[in-house]
Amino acid sequence: MNLMQDAPNVVSEDGLRTLLAERHSADVVCRVTPTRTGAQWSGVWTVHCVSPDGETRRLLVTARNNMAARKFKTINGLSSFLAGLGVSIISIPMFEGKVASHTLDDAS
């Protein structure tokens, strides 16, 4: 299945990597306000790929779960994922409904 063709509102991790290299951004959306347990923050965040003109938004999905939204439930997991994409400055929204946008540096 070609995710970009069959479901244009979603993107796989590989597709997200490709689009970030083409100057798209990765928006992190807080779905559930996180709570702190010891040294760990837990909540729910999703990632959306946004075109440079802001007209197109694609939800990051998991390939293994039949295109279900990929949800990050800890700040550690989310920040590790973003760093793995090549994002050098990570901003994480801490309240439901808030959004933080990320792009790749020219140095990456």
Give a yes or no: residue 5 inside a domain: no
Q: What is the pTM of this model?
A: 0.87
Give a yes or no: residue 1 inside a domain: no
What is the count of structural domains for the chain?
1
- Domain assignment of residue 81, given as a range: 10-100
Which of the four pLDDT bands, split at 50, 70 and 90, describes residue 5? very low
Give a yes or no: residue 108 inside a domain: no
Give a yes or no: residue 2 inside a domain: no
pLDDT digit string (tens) for 30-71? 999 999 999 999 999 999 999 999 999 999 999 765 778 999
- The two most distant CA atoms of the chain are separated, in Å, by 44
Q: Who contacts 70 (Cβ-Cβ below 8 Å, separation ≥6)?
A: 13, 46, 47, 60, 61, 62
Give a yes or no: residue 106 inside a domain: no
Cα 15 to chain center, whole Å? 12
